[in-house]
Amino acid sequence: VIQGAMSEEYVRTTQGVFQFELSGDEGGTWYIDLKTPGGSAGFGKPPVTADVFMSMSSADFVKMFT
């Protein structure tokens, strides 16, 4: 679904960690860290405590970001 580093501008302006519990294809726990310098995203729990927690289907997750 998502992986890799985020731009420093997104990290600087967002300052939040988002954790997603997804069901369906490619389900599981995913995160976007826009708080830690360099930012990151990937599968599993975030490296720091999440500020926002969302639970949804993987199909809705894709729709939300497209």
- Cα separation, 48 vs 61, in Å, equals 21
pLDDT value of residue 42: 92
Instruction: Tell me whether residue 63 is in a domain.
Output: no
10-66 pLDDT tens trace: 778 889 999 999 999 889 999 999 998 888 899 999 989 999 999 999 999 889 888
CATH number reported for the structural domain that contains residue 11 in this entry: 3.30.1050.10
pLDDT value of residue 10: 74
pLDDT value of residue 14: 84
Instruction: Tell me whether residue 21 is in a domain.
Output: yes
State the virtual CA torsion across 28, 33, 38, 44 in degrees, nearest 10: -20
* Domain membership of residue 42 as a residue range: 2-55
Instruction: Tell me whether residue 17 is in a domain.
Output: yes
**Contact yes or no for 7/42 (Cβ under 8 A):** no
Question: Between β-strands 28-34 and 40-43, what pairing exists: parallel, antiparallel or unpaired?
Answer: antiparallel
pLDDT value of residue 6: 63
